Amino acid sequence: MGSIIIVRGNKQEIQYKTCINKLSLDDELCIYAIADFALKNGVPYPSCEIRQKVDISGLNLINLDELAKN
């Protein structure tokens, strides 16, 4: 179980996964996902959606826990 963070720009979308079940938009991992998306896509103010308590084991998404370690 974990959470999926979906960050969207004009025509782009990146989905991140994390093992943390409860997140809010002002949590450090959400801010990191938004910043990562903005840097990769040049979108200054992307939108963000959080889906909590989701089975993330079989999903092939960007692992935000590993990305934040580096």
- 52-63 tens-digit pLDDT: 999 998 899 999
Neighbours of 17 (CB within 10 A): 21
25-61 residue pLDDT tens: 888 889 999 999 999 999 988 999 999 999 998 899 9
Which pLDDT value is given to residue 29?
A: 87
Neighbours of 46 (CB within 10 A): 19
For the cut 90, the answer to whether the pLDDT of residue 70 exceeds it is no
For the cut 90, the answer to whether the pLDDT of residue 24 exceeds it is no
pTM for this prediction: 0.88
Which pLDDT value is given to residue 44?
A: 86
Helix (H, G, I), strand (E, B) or coil at 59: coil
